[in-house]
Structure 1
Amino acid sequence: MNATLPAVNGIERISEILSWYPGCSTVKIKAGKNLQEDLQRIEHVRMVVPNAKIRIDVNGAWSVEEAIRAISEIHQGGTIEYVEQPCSTIEDLRKLKKLLKADVLIAGDEVLRKSPKPLDINLNEVVDILMLKVAPLGGISQSLRIAKKHGLPVVVSSALESAIGISYGLKLAAVLPELPFACGLGTGQLLGADVASLGIIDGAIAVGSPSPEAKALDEYATSLERLDYWKERIRKTWVAGAQDWIAKEGWVW
């Protein structure tokens, strides 16, 4: 697993957060809002974990010009495993790949999972690595189809999800034929509380099916207003085409 470091500053705070990831030798650092703060954050990570592999996640915040400058400056400070979603669009990522002189891999996240048709987009000369997140991509089977279709190295990752959601990412990682990079499935460490537990031991999380704890479900139950929000979102998804997709796949609903 990689440790995930939000865009926080100060070596003490950074050291505290990284301590939540015992045995993790790869660190994903959130960046993109302020280059000087980003550079300092990366430097502090190298001080706290001197031999760590560093990957940067920008969430599409940079223009092509900003990405070229930022990646070049970051790369001068030391080796970077990859930069995740430096620009937001396929067009800008393709342009960046052509113009970037620094020897740095580019990973695609939002460009894939926010596409209405992730199987159909052309990622040739756009990214070097695919980020696979089970929930937004439509499940384990769909994620496997996407990985096979694009034929690129993948990193299985998660958003801020409960242990229940993350367990499906672990199952996806377990069935992939190759995992050349550390997974990004340790995001549960950033939650204040969870309904189940998936501990990190020696930089890894065991594959399994954690059960939610009844006490935690009661304690962290959502409000009725939030429950209505999710019901309405499911309804909109259904009428937008999910019903047809389920029928096509032959799923029992």
Structure 2
Amino acid sequence: MTDDAELPGLPDLSDLLATARVVALPLVTRFRGIDVREALLLEGPEGWTEFSPFAEYDDEEASAWLAAAIDFGWSPAPPALRDAIRVNATVPDVDPDEVRAVLDRFPGCRTAKVKVAASDRTLAQDVARVRVVREVLGPEGRVRLDANAGWNVDEAEHAIHAMAEFDLEYVEQPCATVEELAEIRRRTKYLGIPIAADESVRRASDPLAVAEAGAADLLVVKAQPLGGIRRALAIVAAAGLPVNVSSALDTSVGLAMGAHLAAAMPELEFDCGLGTASLLAADVTDAPLAPVDGAVPVRRVEASAALLDRWAADGDRTAWWLARLERCHAVLATGAGR
């Protein structure tokens, strides 16, 4: 982990509240069980930044997201080693006949991450969705799966076998625990399909445990859940595994944070999950960080006052987010979230 001296000091709560804006952005397609993505935006000395932990996360977990927002809004980003980031398309658990329309929203993307293992979907439905993705991308395209820890080990083994014919780039978080990841990696190693860890990094008390256990071939890292760009870079350096940089259905402001993280990575082998502005039916900026020719630029994003007003959350939801901001600020003030 980075030394706290490398991180910005904690701004006063009044400084955060002075610029805080809460938005509710509609999605093009239902994703992760939601139709609207809520986020709280802040403007710091370095520009706009984002605090958008999912609603079900408790204050201790959410406080890492606030630390990330402060890091990005109150400190200069680390030096960029690249000025654009190749990104993947993200395919929610839609029906097969909707796949092509989803992929069309990601122009130039040569890689698709396909959501699988939803509780209300069958393996046959997952296979049908992945088959269409492979057909659309062609043999040169890259197809990866994201199960969001939705399978047990036996289910994961069965599913990976069922979809191995689609020449998978990797399978992300097929199971929930580090022990299960290690076991499924052992069982399927002969197939040559790498296992990636996401939740076992960003939602773990020890984000290095999965690497130390030899339970994954690569890590998926996200700036907000890991407490910011500098903390994420420290985790990557300590883990010693290949990494991919992804996002958590952020607005373009949050995606800019992820792009700066990816730009600072010494090595970046995989197309990153930073193209998800294409899943939003609205955004907070007149210049969304959406894919062009399969990549997004590395730049700060300026929020639009008109769009912040247009997509402002209602009074109850705004009050909920501001109260959450205050509680998470208190967690950071005690040092528990940093």
One of 213, 216, 224 as aligned partner of 2:307: 216
1:226 is aligned to 2:297:
no
TM-score computed with the length of structure 2 as normaliser? 0.69
TM-score computed with the length of structure 1 as normaliser? 0.92
Q: Are 1:160 and 1:188, in contact at CA under 8 Å, matched by a contact in 2?
A: yes
Q: Are 2:147 and 2:174, in contact at CA under 8 Å, matched by a contact in 1?
A: yes
Partners of 2:124 and 2:277 lie apart in 1 by 28
Which residue number corresponds to residue 94 of structure 1? 182
Q: Quote the offset at 1:127 in angstroms.
A: 0.7
Which residue number corresponds to residue 326 of structure 2? 235
1:54 is aligned to 2:146:
no
Give the paired residue count: 245
Which residue number corresponds to residue 82 of structure 2? none
Deviations 1:68-88 (A, max 9, x none): 11101110x231000000001
Q: SS state of the match for residue 124, structure 2?
A: helix
Partners of 2:179 and 2:309 lie apart in 1 by 46
One of 245, 249, 252 as aligned partner of 1:160: 249
Q: Quote the offset at 1:222 in angstroms.
A: 1.3
Q: Quote the offset at 1:232 in angstroms.
A: 2.7
Which residue number corresponds to residue 277 of structure 2? 188
Q: Quote the offset at 1:121 in angstroms.
A: 5.9
| Cα separation, partners in 2 of 1:73 and 1:179, compared to 1, 3 Å | same
Q: SS state of the match for residue 225, structure 2?
A: helix
| Cα separation, partners in 2 of 1:152 and 1:122, compared to 1, 3 Å | closer
Give the % identical residues.
38
Q: SS state of the match for residue 231, structure 1?
A: helix
Partners of 1:144 and 1:132 lie apart in 2 by 9
Unpaired segments ≥5 residues, structure 1? none
Q: SS state of the match for residue 87, structure 1?
A: coil
Q: Are 1:71 and 1:102, in contact at CA under 8 Å, matched by a contact in 2?
A: no
One of 67, 89, 94 as aligned partner of 1:3: 89
In the alignment, residue 103 of structure 2 is paired with which amino acid? L
Deviations 1:15-52 (A, max 9, x none): 11101111100000000132101111111112212131
Moved more, 90-99 or 158-167: 90-99
Q: Are 1:157 and 1:169, in contact at CA under 8 Å, matched by a contact in 2?
A: yes
In the alignment, residue 3 of structure 1 is paired with which amino acid? A
Q: SS state of the match for residue 215, structure 2?
A: coil
1:26 is aligned to 2:118:
no
Q: Quote the offset at 1:244 in angstroms.
A: 3.5
One of 98, 123, 133 as aligned partner of 1:35: 123
1:45 is aligned to 2:133:
yes
Partners of 1:98 and 1:221 lie apart in 2 by 48
One of 197, 207, 210 as aligned partner of 2:298: 207
Report the aligned-residue RMSD: 1.7
